Amino acid sequence: MSRVQNNSDETHVYRGDNLSCWRGGRMVFEGLSFEVKAGEYLHLKGANGSGKSTLIRLLAGLLETRTGSASFAGDSMLGSDVAASAHVIYSGHQHALKPVLTLRENSENYVKLMTGGSLAYETLEAAVDRFDLYDLIDTPVRYFSSGQTHRCSLLRFCLLDRPIWLMDEPTVGLDAENRGRLEAVMQDHLNGGGIILAASHDPLNLGGKTLMMADFEAKASGQEYWL
């Protein structure tokens, strides 16, 4: 969980300004802006194909923006290095887990990739306890159910200390009990001054603000968009 202190100064504001993204031969969204302060949750809401996942991937540095900027703590938050920065943890539809490795080994590899350091056992133990995975800690991921695999991928949010969490459909495949566990982890992050942007069809009991992707749908106005 983030140790960012909850405050209202400009140091801990995450902003996107006039963002747009071209993908698959069309403008997915345009003119998109947001502002999220320390301790706030922003829910990205919209129909399938409205650009929720595209926006999350763009903010994680996995897609290029056509226009606009994003910033946090005075740093630019666009570009290919964002997902590995000291500010962000990202989770998408792909779990990014090696099936032949155990939960422990996958977690150790993730922390080494992101920090160059080693994963403390106490950190791993606390993380698996949050997601009720302790009995599977030394089991290869290929034996996990889809729900267990998804919970394993969500462990990354408990393994690193990063202020901004970018989450694409974090509740997919979770039953009510494990959704409750996830909500508790997310609420702890917000209570510590963290920031969460999550694209989700499922409502989460976290309060916060909603960004409607339909408000930024690209409108054709008699001219075609060209690359």
CATH number, residue 167: 3.40.50.300
Residue 40 has which token pair?
Answer: 């706030």
Residue 196 has which token pair?
Answer: 């969460």
**Domain assignment of residue 103, yes or no:** yes
User: What's the rounded Cα separation, in Å, for the pair 14 and 90?
Assistant: 15
**Domain assignment of residue 20, yes or no:** no
Per-residue pLDDT of the chain (227 residues; tens, 9 = 90+): 444 444 445 678 999 999 999 988 889 999 999 999 999 999 999 998 899 999 999 999 999 999 999 999 888 899 888 888 899 999 988 888 999 999 999 999 999 999 999 999 999 999 999 999 999 999 999 999 999 999 999 999 999 999 999 999 999 989 999 999 999 999 999 999 999 999 988 889 999 999 999 999 977 543 444 43
The alpha helices in 30-95, defined as continuous H runs, are: 52-59
Q: Total structural domains in the chain?
A: 1
**Domain assignment of residue 10, yes or no:** no
**Domain assignment of residue 28, yes or no:** no
Q: Could you list the residue range(s) of the whole structural domain that residue 103 is in?
A: 41-216
Report which of 164, 170, 196 is spatially closest to residue 83, judged by C-alpha positions: 164
Phi and psi at residue 214, in whole multiples of 5°?
Answer: -60, -25
**Domain assignment of residue 18, yes or no:** no
**Domain assignment of residue 52, yes or no:** yes
**Domain assignment of residue 32, yes or no:** no
Q: State the residue for tokens 């606390």.
A: 126
**Residues recorded for the chain:** 227
**Domain assignment of residue 30, yes or no:** no
Structure pTM?
A: 0.90
